[in-house]
Structure 1
């Protein structure tokens, strides 16, 4: 009997193989793709990895059909040339399926992981009703062993819910995007357009905030204040919107300025609960606030930490830490790390093993927590995020903080003034989580009935402020609150809006004029597309599939009917939509400026390879061209460079903010800009330090030493995201060897050896072995 285990990624496949074989697995490969083989009694086990989705949705029928309503699942490499590399991984599964009798889905335990693994099993001809599921929240060896020992039936309801989501997202996306593009057919607009089931409401949310801000009319108001014992007191009337009333209060106060009476002295003590452990959204918000990390970078980095068994599964909406996780053991392992031994040791000495939990629940996974496995060779970004997660986890076990609150009210001739103070009595969990603290404001001593005088009374005239714009992290939190999208897709939806040129900005998001025109066109003429109630209704229906309250076909059919209704309204108003959208095209499609050679217009062109560049409209007579950034929106500014006199353009890049440059790459202004950037990078690199908790306390700082040996480098995408993070000091995360029983410890890099395959392999299958010496590769045998 043979069993095939389907893992979601190669790194997880290796850890599963190591766990189930006690590190005696055989590593084989087909066309450069590794898979693992081991024996458990009379059973042979194969472990192979996907690389995300190996199957995708595509149109069933003629490509000219509109609207598209019939779809099918097919191999990703057959649909998208960028996914051709996945063919090798699918070939491995096909080969192993011929040798296997049963299947286990060991992909991430969420809807996406269920769809990835179940699709592979389904298309290999496996019986999904007999296939089994591994459920684990960490990739530590003990958790993987426990998951294999407690296999579950395949979670088919989640699979059906996931299928429905993929189908509806694809159907809404492809049809609405084609409709949007068709509205501008025959114009010079050539940029890709898209709108989708969640994209539309997200754009609407941002556009409505822009409109609120643009329509906001500031109103003046006054605060009447007094200074008593060098402490500022505010009139209890608060914000006064009538200047005459404010002036009257000030005059009445001045008439009794030296004859104030302390009417109230109130002192209370409050207990401040620790923050709950992180769910994904809370982690993205806090990483943005503390580390200035982009939400997409936070998720990518957390995923890497999870795959290396340092933290639990990050795509969770839970703030719960059940006792079954062995929390006291995790705290004990953290105490072996010099960076956390004092904090974790204090919890152990005080027997604090009950966490302060939040309200949010996720049936699939607990809150994000460190596994206790000693981290090795973390990058600066990984180290900072790991440090944030560990300290949040430890802090939720700590004692409540105690804060003294004080309120004093003074009466000056009938006008009452109040001052509030706050003082931390017991720091409690604040000592464990340096990223939070109570606001301290000391008040001088006052006694009830005491006569006091004010040194002065005065008025401050202020104006009401418009609503704040969203940042990426705050937008993700708002989408979660409105039940739009999923915890795993919200960041990518925002990134798509950046790519389409609908929004711009790094820390603060603004809607471009083109984005506003798209919103206005759809909101006025096809509101269903940007109405969040439509999307929320579908989200709730898909949730009911998971709960076995609705069938997949029922929800998909309902979604198709809603789509047809939206398209009918769109088509009937297509002319109005086109006119409204063209109002916003002027900025994005306007000539960038005049050609210095012959006075022609400089416009954006595309090469045969799809690369954008700037060229003259008098081509081929004029061959002037300029390079511009790829994957960015480039628009005119109406300005020219003072040095080279070429047009200045505005560059809008996803997550990189907005900046202006001239078109001449040899211009002296470019060199000056490069020098400033280089100086800034040098200054940033000198600031990057890693210190131990003790050194931080003592004020000592050490510079980072680049480790001689590193684990596999992060992908280019993760590197790019990581480069956006502002360098800040953090606690040192050292490598510490501890004498732990073999079955309780994680294998080190050097212990991750693979025994040479002894079974005769089929043609084209090479056998590889890994030397037991320092993890070096052995020679392959033909």
Structure 2
């Protein structure tokens, strides 16, 4: 008998549907027609034990006990899913072979692997375990996956990476939460100071941005535009480029701060000849954006519909598991295997028959186009999120589900549209010894951009609008040396703007593009090619956690740090609140997946860092924290059981 172990019941049912009939549904498993059995976990059915399971003395939070580093790590069954583990134990003993059917990511790999290890599967049976990779729950896709089983041993690096992260989160959360809470209590703060390997640097990003905004002082700066007229009477505007001689009157972003300087330029160029000193015209192409991974989808959904990351993830899970309209949603890849091209015509035809707005675009899609999205080398255990070979016509989708589904479909259809092409002209003019420039973009073929037309309700920022105005000018045919006429100069007074508060979209962008916030140049280089802070599967939960813990709050679309969040970051050492360290660890975890690093190279320095941070904690000043008992509801409801959250990211 072959035993299929799925990550969750919905996946187990999808697998059973693709196996021989008749089926017998039992408690916790399904028997199929050929005698094989499909069973499942219910997410993680094992969890890390609490510190007191290693030694009873750890029940008391005592600085002398820290850091707590287990010699032999232990897992325990979750109480609410213990009965399913008992069923799996029995089936594992009865079966002749096992098929690992966890979700196609490193967490899904570990989830089943740790159950297999916990149930003490024999070495012989373990060596023969096969891996079933399913990213689409529709029957045809599951059958294809069943015909493409791989050795589970090929995916052990994914499991090791997830295991390392799980243990790192336990070590970091348990030890630093205890250390800083103990010190905070001595300083008069009676709440628990929860610290996490990923959550605290994210909180640090928000606090840092809030501080920048609070301390920002706006300053005026000045630009000069020249109104240019050609011999044929055509007009356009060119922007002054301050020379090196103007540097003493400019800020570090090359903005002129002295009004008299700009006024002098306006006076000098009024009614003066403008000589074309350089002109360069190029034909440009812009190819369609890649299909979505989860973070990219969450960012676009936040921008378009003001949806938070957790909501987007929940909706995606429904579209995947319940409606079977999209492929596996917790993907970190934006690429597709070339083999998927075989299904593309059917998917496009289904979209063309849809009653949803994208149908017309599907009818105009060119199935012969193969975009750069199809790249086997950039696809690992999972591929980009795309629509499946299933029609949505007879499915009653909520407005949220429709919005997310249509984003995914649009991004997929864009792969079958030609490039956006345009003519870009860069023009330089000499007016009274000053340089003025024009940069124009003249669209020639809209291509994939026809799918991304903005609705009338969408607006650009002022900065973007001004940039577009410059680019959307039409230039007449000109040649180097042509003498034009500057009718007048125009002084434009602006003010420096503070950085924008984080929103759901920009905080996710910060997490995925964390290199921008890292100070170490070597780490910055490494992180440009990694996935940033957290993972596709965890980012939404971590942001949500910071809200639940009372460290962040929403003010409209803006995300702000609370007084407790700001005080905590102020009290903690920089190492705990900046992304440098944990981002570097994420890079190492990715390297473990790719077999470019190993478990010990990650865990050994981690333990050393934790030891040093525990030592530093006792000498810190927590005077900035609110004194006495925490008065927010979160303290009362969520800090009553310290162990509930101490080991989280």
TM-score, length-scaled by structure 1: 0.66
| Residue in 2 that maps onto 1:62 | 55
Residue in 1 that maps onto 2:247: none
Indicate the RMSD between aligned Cα atoms, in angstroms: 3.3
Q: Could you tell me which of 388, 393, 396 is aligned with 1:377?
A: 396
After superposing the two structures, state which structure 1 stretch, 207-216 or 475-484, moved more: 207-216
Provide the rounded CA distance (Å) in 1 between the counterparts of 2:149 and 2:370: 29
Query: What's the counterpart of residue 495 of structure 2?
Result: 463
Q: 2:534 aligns with which of 470, 485, 505?
A: 485
For residue 393 of structure 1, report the CA deviation from its aligned partner.
0.6
Q: Write the deviation string for residues 427-485 of structure 1: whole angstroms up to 9, x where unpaired.
A: 1111233359995724364755365452x533222232333333233222322233322
Distance 1:359 1:209 in 2: 39
Cα offset for 1:103? 1.9
| Counterpart Cα distance in 2 of 1:100 and 1:554 | 37
1-side partners of 2:262 and 2:611: how far apart? Answer: 59
The aligned residue for residue 39 of structure 1 is 33
In the alignment, is residue 87 of structure 1 matched against residue 119 of structure 2?
no
Query: Structure 1 residue 137 and structure 2 residue 129: aligned?
Result: no
Task: Specify whether residues 109 and 408 from structure 1 end up closer, same or farther in structure 2 by C-alpha distance, changes over 3 A only.
Answer: closer
Indicate if the aligned counterparts of 1:221 and 1:463 stay in contact, CA closer than 8 A.
yes
SS in 1 for 2:94: coil
**Does 2:399 align with 1:400?**
no
Rounded to whole Å, the distance in 2 between the matches of 1:61 and 1:426 is 67
Q: Secondary structure at the match of 2:444?
A: strand
Q: Which of structures 1 and 2 has the bigger CA Rg?
A: 1
Aligned residue in 2 for 1:367: 384
Unmatched segments (≥5 aa) in structure 1: 79-83, 590-602, 613-782
**Aligned position for 1:634:** none
Q: Does 1:517 align with 2:567?
A: yes
1:552 aligns to 2:596 (yes or no)? no
SS in 2 for 1:223: strand
Tell me which of 347, 351, 357 is aligned to 2:365.
347
For the Cα contact (< 8 Å) 1:133–1:151, is it kept in 2?
Answer: yes
Task: Report the CA distance between 1:529 and its aligned residue.
Answer: 2.6
Q: 1:397 to 1:252 in 2, by over 3 A?
A: same
> Which is bigger in relative contact order (C-alpha 8 A, separation at least 6)?
2
Q: Measure how far apart 1:134 and its partner are.
A: 0.7
Aligned counterparts of 2:419 and 2:300: Cα–Cα separation in 1: 20
The equivalent of 2:526 in structure 1 is: none
User: Residues 341 and 521 (structure 1 numbering): CA distance in 2 closer, same or farther, change over 3 Å?
Assistant: closer
* Residue number in structure 2 paired with 1:289: 303
Displacement of 1:542 after TM fit? 3.2
Task: In structure 2, list runs of 5 or more residues that go unmatched.
Answer: 59-64, 229-233, 243-253, 461-466, 515-531, 641-649
Equivalents in 1 of 2:633, 2:382: separation in Å? 49
SS state at 1:579 partner: coil
Higher helix share: 2
1:248 aligns with 2:248: no
- Corresponding position of 1:50: 41
In structure 2, do the counterparts of structure 1 residues 356 and 609 end up closer, same or farther at CA, with 3 Å as the change threshold? closer
Is the CA contact (8 Å cut-off) linking 2:14 and 2:137 kept in structure 1? yes
373-382 or 224-233, which moves further after superposition?
Answer: 224-233
Matches of 1:430 and 1:174, distance apart in 2 = 50
8 A Cα contact 2:138 2:389, kept in partner: no
Displacement of 1:14 after TM fit?
Answer: 0.9
Deviates more, 1:88-97 or 1:362-371: 88-97
For structure 1, which segment, 558-567 or 4-13, has the greater mean C-alpha deviation from structure 2 after superposition? 558-567
Query: Paired residue for 1:9?
Result: 8
Distance 1:361 1:217, change over 3 A: farther
Q: Where does residue 234 of structure 1 map in the other structure?
A: 239
CA distance in 2, matches of 1:564, 1:611: 25
User: What's the CA shift string for 1:143-187, capped at 9, x where partnerless?
Assistant: 322322332222333222222211110111011111122123267
Between the aligned partners of 1:50 and 1:312, the Cα distance in structure 2 is 20
Q: CA shift at 1:406, angstroms?
A: 4.3
CA contact (8 A) 1:193 1:500 kept: no
Deviations 1:12-69 (A, max 9, x none): 11111001136x422222xxxx5211132xxx21112222100000133234323222
CA contact (8 A) 2:221 2:258 kept: yes
Distance 1:388 1:532 in 2: 31
1:443 maps to: 474
Residues 6, 12 of structure 2: 8 Å contact kept: yes
* 1:95 to partner: Cα distance: 4.0
